[in-house]
Structure 1
Amino acid sequence: MPADPRLTSEMLVGALRRRVTDSGGFATVVAKGDAISGVILVQALEKGAFQGLFERVSNLDGGGALMRCGPSAEEGPEALDQYLARRRRSDPDLWIIELDIPDAERFAAGTIC
């Protein structure tokens, strides 16, 4: 049986950006990763306030899920910047996408998972 075709990271990021923009939000690529299989991190904001960082991970059925990662909002922007820099150093193929829209986690999960 042939493997299921999978969307590339670049396609998933593009779809997420369009969906957020079409819904009145703001989406930008902070760091571009590998077009085919780069890991995707979603930095969720609401009205400019950091809400959380989420990583797209594979699950057992071959699909994807979002997992909260990185520092909390209470740890401040410096902790977030340090975490993102560390992740990019260890994985230069990593995508970092910033979404500023209410319930950014839901938008991301509904699009890239």
Structure 2
Amino acid sequence: MSGRLTSQMLVSALIRRAQAAGGFATVLHKGESMSGAIVVQVVESARHTGFFERIMGLDGRSHLVSTGPKLVSDFSDISQYIDRRLRADPDIWFVELDVAEGEQLAADILCAG
């Protein structure tokens, strides 16, 4: 086995770091523990600011990219996006992150190493 961290370990680290920074994080959908894709919904003061997904780049390193709806008019837009992604990939993780500099925190945890 390689030295890569599992998806479950990365999600756990993300939640701990958010809480340590005085924020809130929760798993909206638990994916496959070893290698499930990870999508983070970043929220600031209960307002959706974007979805970000960890992907593997051509350089072999993980990157955090913006994904999903850019303009969200209500909760149903978010719910529909998550439902659509889960139908396509039931092994995907969805994590909601409500903390200052949430996108940067997610990048630091999910793309390190």
Scaled by the length of structure 1, the TM-score of the pair is 0.92
AA in 2 matched with 1:61 = D
Structure 2 residue matching 1:73: 3-state secondary structure: coil
Distance change (3 Å), C-alpha of 1:74 and 1:30: closer
Q: Is 1:59 equivalent to 2:25 in the alignment?
A: no
Equivalence for 1:15: 13
Equivalence for 1:78: 76
Scaled by the length of structure 2, the TM-score of the pair is 0.92
Alignment map for 1:31-50 (pairs within 5 Å): 31-50=29-48
| Cα deviation, residue 75, structure 1 | 4.1
Aligned-pair Cα RMSD in Å: 1.4
5+ residue gaps, structure 1, are none
What percentage of residue pairs aligned between the two structures are identical? Answer: 46
| Cα deviation, residue 60, structure 1 | 2.4
5+ residue gaps, structure 2, are none
AA in 1 matched with 2:15 = R
Answer whether contact 1:50 1:73 (CA < 8 A) is retained: no
Q: How many residues get paired?
A: 111
| Cα deviation, residue 77, structure 1 | 2.4
